[in-house]
Amino acid sequence: MWLSNIFPVNHSNIPYYNISQNLVQKPSGQTQHNDGPNTSVFFRFLRRFTSAKKIDGGSRTEEEEKLYSWIYALAQSEKDLVYEYVQSTERGLSFAEADRRLKETGPNIPLENTFPQWWNLLWSASFHPFNIILLVLSVLSYIASDNPNGCIMLILVFISVSLRFYQEFSSSKAAMKLAEFVRCPIKVQRCAGRIVQTEVQVKVDQREVVPGDIVIVGPGDLFPGDVRLLESKHLVVSQSSLTGESATTEKTAYVREDNSTPLLDLKNICFMGTSVVSGSGTGLVVSTGLKTYLSTIFSKVGKKRPADDFEKGIRHISFVLISIMLVVVSVIVLSVYFTSRDLSKTILYGISVASALTPQMLPLIVNTSLAKGALAMAKDRCIVKSLTAIRNMGSMDIICIDKTGTLTVDFATMVNYFDSWGSPNETVLHFAFLNAYFQSQNKHPLDDAIMAYAYTNGFRFQPSKWNKIDEIPFDFTRRRVSVILETKISAKDEKISGNRVLITKGALEDILRICSFVEHIDKGVILTFTKEDYRRISDLAERLSNEGYRVLGLAMKQLLPEVKVSSMIYEEDVESSMVFVGLISFFDPPKDSAKQALWRLAEKGVKAKVLTGDTLSLAIRICKEVGIRTTHVITGPDLESLDTDSFHETVKRSTVFARLTPTQKLRVVQSLQTKGDHVVGFLGDGVNDSLALDAANVGISVDSGASMAKDFANIILLEKDLNVLIAGVEQGRLTFGNTMKYIKMSVIANLGSIISLLIATLIFGFEPLTPMQLLTQNILYNLGQIAIPWDKMEDCYVKVPQRWSLKGLAMFTLWNGPLCSASDIATLLFLLLYYKVSRLDFEFFRSAWFVEGLLMQTLIIHLIRTEKIPFIQEVASWPVVCATILISSIGIVIPYTTIGKILGFTALPLSYFGFLVVLFLGYFSFGQIIKKGYILVFKTWL
């Protein structure tokens, strides 16, 4: 025989749904907020921040509890009671009532679009603490007639803001794209007539659908709101917009659910944004607009992203420097004023000192580093939409990834074929091949997988010896496909009594339903299909499913050649009394690069967790193959039942999360961020991943992903390959490291310089540098730092995640800052003791002080940038070395030039440069000793 393998409710506990509030009322005794039109806007705004329930652990928000209570109440109720809850009738709403409700509830839009406008992006790019400081100092400089200083600071701000604004505006992140849900016509049943009301069906825009409307849906239609089914016929719905999984689900109006059924598995409830695949139905709209399940999910967008540690740290630094600036500048200004009694000159000098204390290049260095990182990632086929995501990539220590298409190749391959006793049998493969080969309508990738398996394994089934008579195409009601074939050769050679056969493959349960016989191929006999056969085949299929395989069933039936085909095809019982012949298993294999990529990420301190809406068994199978530990796994329904503490502990411990809803993915990410103190990346490509993408520190999607997922992502991969992420992690750490070099160097150098200026001012009674000299020194120093984004980082630095630490910066400054001031004080003592400098020698003193200060600020980068001995064990990149040589040379030469004379400098003796050589050798020697001590204590440097 030739075979083919394929594929009672307590109503008193139900809360009443008030159309006017579109909310489930709380049981009596609980306080309800009245947010009616007379409620103060201020108090409503205040309540939002004081009484809103925080999402924590596995618990639901107040809004979610209301929605769950409402949906489950409807799912458990009879149709008559459902009409009562939503205050509707079997005929539907009248046009007047629908208009009234539309005015009351507002347009049926799932979420208001919050696309960032260009001025929002410009404000975000401009509102940086140091930009504000520079703008204030620039204004003060213009007021004090110090136009060059004011102009330079404005230019620095303009360049910094322009870089960031251009990068983010060119690929601005849209917060929502739900337009596809609000632009389709919906067939609605309304009642009309003043005396005798009649039912009419009209098409309205989805935005005009209101609670209480009766909608009629068919293949391809979107549900315009949350709907309680009233009637259904073979209704199959795709919920991929909510679950991310391509598998469809059957819905029926003729069941009454209970609270043990997961929300998305409710058979008589359809949700906004899901679509009809096949069949038809009639449903009562119970929730629209902002009260739907879809809106409840996406209402969390943009509200749960944790504060950026780096930006918080920058703001803390700015406040500290402003405080120091106010104290030091006040002391210096008062000291100079009491000596010179020239108020305008004193104010100008104070502005110059304040300018010197401000890390003027910080915004520019940060944004240049990020922009350079974005260009480098673009070469690795990554589109960076948010510059800060590059920096966060360097700090990321956990990456949450979806399974399908990320760890797997996203297409199934055939693995094996079994007869009904679980033994491999070539005859099963033969008929599966014929079914796949001759199927022409709605061809599925699994058909290609069957043919590819047969060809690559050397099977030659000679389809040319068969004629296709007809085909019964696949549909979601039958969930199977059949072909009718007729052999061209004699029945004797083919070992069958007839030459026409019906071969059917499809979902196993649907194949078993139409089988009355089973063939024992080895014995060559056909037996009656028994309960024992059913149990044995089901157990085999369950074992395969638990191992992560997808299973299809295969059946066949001999047909009499004299029967007309056209009369058979349309008979409902043609696919009946068939012979079950076997199973075919398929598997979506892991990518060849996935295991290596995960191993490389782990080497860099990034742990992987799998968050998927797929089954646990399949997720475990894939994770085992790519090297992810599966000792701790959990499913979404199990997570939902945990209390807060258990939830966080489970999230911390588990590596595989299966059957997750979009909200559960969000909560897992938030738990890792808040309770685990991790910097979390999320890689996803579906609408169901949007919440987690928005909440993650680094949201990553792919170019082939859903448009909404790409809108929420910070980074878009042009290749769905984890290896691309590794380059992004390395680039992020390089960017972070170079930024930290400048921050630590500038804080140490600027504080040391200001303290030295204060000491020199108090000793001499006049400003050590004039405002113009101080401005020139700042300009040269800042120009020298432009090359920092092009510096390299040591290999050990990019091997571990890097986090901002304000305490670490403070300790770094306390350890290394005094050395800069000590070098300046050593110079001051040398000038006083060796050259006998007095108040009358201010030109010589200022020239010497200018050169030493500029060289100190220029060379310090080489001490700060590496743990090793600078210039000996580690040399900076050539742009940094060239910038150092150029700026140092200019600083040394200026006193001998005409420009130097204009600035008030004088030529310096060679003996002073001999002192500087000794000074800097001592500075680097002591600096290296301090560095080793710091690393010994804190186990890190940058």
Ordered domains of the chain (ranges, CATH) = 308-374+729-938 (1.20.1110.10), 382-408+591-718 (3.40.50.1000), 413-562+571-587 (3.40.1110.10)
842 pLDDT tier (thresholds 50, 70, 90): confident
Q: Which of 98, 65, 24, 83 is nearest to 228 (CA)?
A: 83
- What does the pLDDT look like over 132-156, one tens digit per residue? 777 777 777 777 666 776 777 777 6
Q: 505 pLDDT exceeds 90? A: yes
More confident residue, 182 or 485: 485
Give me the active site residues, please. 402
pLDDT value for 99: 92
What is the model's pLDDT at position 655?
A: 92
Q: Which helix (H) or strand (E) holds 631?
A: none
**Bigger pLDDT: 519 or 418?**
418
Mean pLDDT of 504-523: 86
pLDDT at res. 182 = 41
Mutual angle of helices 362-379 and 388-395, in 10-degree steps: 80
What local confidence, expressed as pLDDT, does residue 130 receive?
65
- Mean pLDDT calculated for residue range 524-548: 87
Q: Which of the two residues, 768 and 858, has the higher pLDDT score?
A: 858
| pLDDT value of residue 158 | 79
Is the pLDDT at 919 greater than 90? The verdict is yes
- Judged by average pLDDT, the poorest of 294-308, 352-366, 833-847, 866-880 is 294-308
Please report, rounded to a whole number, the percentage of residues in the chain having pLDDT higher than 70. 79
- The pLDDT of 809-825, averaged and rounded, is 87
- Euclidean distance between CA atoms 456 and 445, whole angstroms: 16
pLDDT at 52: 38
The predicted model gives 437-462 an average pLDDT of 86
pLDDT at position 649 over 80: yes
Q: Contact 724/703 with Cβ under 8 angstroms?
A: no
Q: How many angstroms separate the most distant Cα atoms in the chain?
A: 125
| 442, 444, 447, 453 alpha-carbon torsion, rounded to 10° | 160
Q: Coil, strand, or helix at residue 250? A: strand
Phi, psi of 500 (to 5 degrees): -130, 135
Distance CA 114, CA 120 (A): 11
**Between 249 and 920, the higher pLDDT residue:** 920
First to last CA, the chain: 74
Greater confidence, 906 or 402? 906
Average pLDDT over residues 600-622: 86
Q: Find the range with the poorest average confidence among 134-143, 168-177, 321-330, 792-801.
A: 168-177
Instruction: Tell me the average pLDDT across 265-283.
Output: 88
Q: What was the pLDDT predicted at 5?
A: 35
Query: What local confidence, expressed as pLDDT, does residue 489 receive?
Result: 58
Region 95-122: mean pLDDT is 75
Per the prediction, the chain carries an average pLDDT of 78
Q: 43-52, 503-512, 696-705, 708-717: which range is least confident on average?
A: 43-52
Average pLDDT over residues 93-103: 91
Pick 94 or 198 by higher pLDDT.
Answer: 94
Task: Identify the residue whose tokens are 């969000």.
Answer: 666
The residue count for the chain: 942
Is 680's pLDDT higher than 60? yes
Is the model's pLDDT at 32 over the cut of 80?
no
Once rounded to an integer, what is the mean pLDDT over residues 383-407?
A: 81
What pLDDT is stored for residue 347 in this prediction?
Answer: 72
Work out the percent of the chain whose per-residue pLDDT is above 90: 19
Contact assessment for residue 612 and residue 404, using Cβ atoms and an 8 Å cutoff: yes
- Half-sphere exposure of 280 toward its Cβ, with a 13 Å CA cutoff? 4
Give the per-residue pLDDT at 453. 92
pLDDT for the residue 840: 60
Q: Which strand (E) or helix (H) includes residue 455?
A: helix 445-456
CB 272 within 8 A of CB 223: yes
Predicted pLDDT of residue 31? 35
pLDDT digits (tens, 9 = 90+) for 696-720: 888 888 776 666 677 778 888 877 7
Q: How far apart are CA 809 and CA 804, in angstroms?
A: 8
Q: Which residues pair with 276 in a beta bridge?
A: 237
Q: What pLDDT band is residue 125 in, cutting at 50, 70 and 90?
A: low
> Which range is most confident: 333-342, 387-396, 837-846, 905-914?
905-914
Asked if pLDDT for residue 618 goes beyond 70, the answer is yes
For residue 283, pLDDT beyond 70 = yes
pLDDT reported for residue 930: 92
**Choice among 402-411, 566-575, 812-821 with the minimum mean pLDDT:** 566-575
The pLDDT, as a whole number, for residue 66 is 85
Q: pLDDT at position 669, please?
A: 92
Non-local (6+) Cβ contacts of 573 within 8 A are none
Q: Which residue has the higher pLDDT, 756 or 345?
A: 756
Token pair of 826 as six digits: 């050593």
Select the more confidently predicted residue: 742 or 411.
742
Residue 34: per-residue pLDDT: 37
Whether pLDDT at 227 is above 80: yes
Q: Are 270 and 227 in contact, with CB atoms under 8 Å apart?
A: yes
707: Cβ contacts below 8 Å, ≥ 6 apart:
177
The whole-number average pLDDT for the span 861-870 is 90
Q: How far apart are CA 346 and CA 349, in angstroms?
A: 5
Higher-pLDDT residue of 23 and 392 is: 392
Cβ-based neighbour number of residue 49 at 10 Å: 7
